[in-house]
Amino acid sequence: MTSAEASPLPVAIVAGFRRAVEVVAEAAADIERASRRAAELWEAGGRLVYVGAGASGLIAAQDASELPGTFGLDKSRIAMLLAGGIERPFDIDAAAEDDREAGCAAIMALGDLSRSVVLAVSASGTTPYTLGAAGAARDAGAYVVALACRRQSPLLELGSASLLLETGAEALDGSTRLAAGTAQRCAMGLFSTLFGEALGHIHAGHMVNLKVENEKLRQRAVGIVSDIAEVEEEGARNALRLAGGDVKIAILVARGAEGPGAAAQLLSQSRGRIPLALASLGRAGVASGFMGLGPQIGRAR
């Protein structure tokens, strides 16, 4: 082996990562259908619940934790059920994943789930805690998205939507955080991103409902408003200031809406969808003769 060649283990691990991405691509249509249904239930007032244990649960927890900031989702409507609890991720009781009744009880404690989505994740598809939660969720009328990496696993039988990510044997026997973990992370990232898109929180490749909570995100928001509204950055900053940092409202203000209140009304009428709101704004502009940007916003590019 030359210095430019990798030893067998990293080659095998990377091959597993490639295989993981390929199986997610094969399941992409099913993932998209599940995400669209999930968005419908969210708009009907439901919740989004992630369930898992061990590495699968921690990957699910990461995806869940990113949604409020990325898409501006109400964190009170997102739950993460991790076997052993999420408070001490470095000291989780491994035996907790064998407690099927605990998974069932955790779901039942959430109350009415008849309009909610439960995303249940297990590499083997046999984890008792996750099976208990998925079964109880199904019995409670939830839309269960079951994700497993083994064909004919019990978890897939419990799903309203069953997503098989068959990654095969791991390069490191038993370490499901590698190929299986990569497939799970990719699948959940695809699911939650398409979920955000279906809710109208993605437009022209931008996260138009992100929470502007630090300097990096403030700069990102300026770029988003500037790009979509086709104004200079200074105009985008002014629009964001008038909108109190709300990116969607700022886009409409920058495009000529008569203040944040009018922009908010357009968004409400358009169910938060920027294309519909812009189309309505255009029609209103033609009728009232105020198409384009006011002098307080900045010149168009």
Which residue, chain included where needed, has tokens 């009415």?
Answer: 112
Q: Is the pLDDT of residue 134 over 50?
A: yes
pLDDT bin (cut points 50, 70, 90) of residue 90 is confident
H or E element, residue 47: none
Q: Is the pLDDT of residue 210 over 60?
A: yes
- The predicted structure's pLDDT at residue 87: 79
- Section 184-213 average pLDDT: 96
Q: Average pLDDT of the chain? A: 91
Pick the CATH number of 9-199 from 3.10.580.10, 3.40.50.10490, 3.40.50.720, 3.40.50.970: 3.40.50.10490
Catalytic residue among 40, 66, 166, 233, which? 66
Alpha-carbon distance 142 to 131, whole Å? Answer: 14
Q: Please enumerate in sequence order all residues whose Cβ is within 8 A of that of 26, keeping only pairs 6 or more positions apart, or say none.
A: none
- The predicted structure's pLDDT at residue 291: 36
Strand partners, 161: 145
Pick the CATH number of 203-288 from 3.30.70.270, 3.40.50.170, 1.10.8.1080, 3.40.50.2000: 1.10.8.1080
Strand partners, 52: 82
Q: What percent of the chain has pLDDT over 70?
A: 93
Residues 84-88: contacts with CB under 8 Å, at least 24 apart: 84/53, 86/61
User: Is residue 163 within 8 Å of 126, Cβ to Cβ?
Assistant: no
Q: Do domains 9-199 and 203-288 have the same CATH topology?
A: no
- The predicted structure's pLDDT at residue 141: 97
User: Is residue 206 within 8 Å of 270, Cβ to Cβ?
Assistant: no
Active site residue 66: yes
Q: How many residues does the chain have?
A: 301
